[in-house]
């Protein structure tokens, strides 16, 4: 059956990763901690979600 998945906005994810890399390269000191970023995702429910039919 088609799998239930999470849709992740790849373009936004790549853009934020590039921004973080540019910020890290612009500073003279290494980052002291990892920043957490929450990205919006969407659950895509397909027929693989649910129990087996008996």
pLDDT digits (tens, 9 = 90+) for 14-44: 999 898 888 888 887 766 677 788 889 999 9
Per-residue b or e along 18-51, where b marks 16 or more CB atoms closer than 10 Å to that residue's CB: eeeeeeeeeeeeeeeeeeeeeeeeeeeeeeeeee
Which pLDDT score is estimated for 31? 66
Are the C-beta atoms of 6 and 43 separated by less than 8 Å?
Answer: yes
Are the C-beta atoms of 7 and 45 separated by less than 8 Å?
Answer: no
Are the C-beta atoms of 9 and 38 separated by less than 8 Å?
Answer: no
Which pLDDT score is estimated for 52? 67
Which pLDDT score is estimated for 27? 83
């Amino acid at each position: 059956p088609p799998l239930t998945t999470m849709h992740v906005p790849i373009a936004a994810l790549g853009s934020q990763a590039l921004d973080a890399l540019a910020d890290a390269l612009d500073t003279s000191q290494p980052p002291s901690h990892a920043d957490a970023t929450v990205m919006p995702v969407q659950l895509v429910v397909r027929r693989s979600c649910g129990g087996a039919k008996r």
